[in-house]
Amino acid sequence: MAGKVFFSVSMSLDGFSASESMEGILATPEQRERDPRLGRWMAQWMELQAWIFPLRFFRENLKLGQGGEEGRDNDIARETFERTGASVMGKRMFDLGEPTWPAEAPFHTSVFVVTHTEREPWQRPGGTTFHFVNDGIERALDQAREAAGDRDVRIAGGSATILEYLNAGLVDEFSIALAPVLFGAGTRLFDGVDASRVALAPVRSEASSRVTHLTYAVRPR
């Protein structure tokens, strides 16, 4: 039986899934000192993701060391990982991750990168293999479904790629970790959504001490 196609992201209360630039995360402390915007973008991103950094699962998966918090947030992060049989991501997300993921990239499955760049599959220790798909989002999803078997396919990001799949009617459900922060500016998760085609049905809403986990099923209108 085929699994579901889903995405799962953190979002600010005002709808942003990323700050104005990811340069804040890639910058050195010296660069952040010279350009206060870099520090602000970094701080926003840290606030958005603050629920995930202390988790035991996150620390284990990114090889950050032993220990960490258990509890419902940790269970949700682990469940999201365990249901995922393959991921799809856009080229920009891959380009940002390539220099920053540890050698043992945190996917441990096949990852299909939607890109115009032709490149041989890139196999990493720990079971992650990146496949570069040059013929569009549907073909990337087909391959991911096949690789996932009866597990689910995660549209990993970024938000432009998520929106392409959502507007194409290819997403079954999604989860948002709604963070108690206002960005004011940045990249909006649902910017460009085709509201005339996408309807939502609430599946689950669960508050932890740090965020509210919201899950919706996607329905055609």
Residues ≥6 apart with Cβ < 8 Å to 213:
76, 175, 176, 177, 178, 204, 205, 206, 207
Contacting a copy of itself within 198-217 (CB under 8 A): 198-202, 204-207, 209-212, 214, 216
x/- map, 38-57, a copy of itself, by CB under 8 A: --x---x-------------
CA 100/CA 104 separation, integer angstroms: 11
Size of the site for a copy of itself (CB under 8 A): 36
Q: Does 192 engage in binding with a copy of itself (CB under 8 A)?
A: yes
Q: Which residues make beta-bridge pairs with 173?
A: 6, 217
x/- map, 126-165, a copy of itself, by CB under 8 A: ----------------------------------------
- What value, to the nearest 5°, has the Cα angle with vertex 10 and ends 153 and 168? 45
Minimum distance from residue 135 beta carbon to a copy of itself (Å): 28
Q: Which residue has the tokens 């509201």?
A: 195
Report the run of H or E that residue 156 belongs to, with start and end. Answer: strand 152-157
Report the run of H or E that residue 185 belongs to, with start and end. Answer: none
* Residues forming the site for a copy of itself (CB under 8 A): 13-15, 40, 44, 176, 178, 180-185, 188-190, 192-196, 198-202, 204-207, 209-212, 214, 216
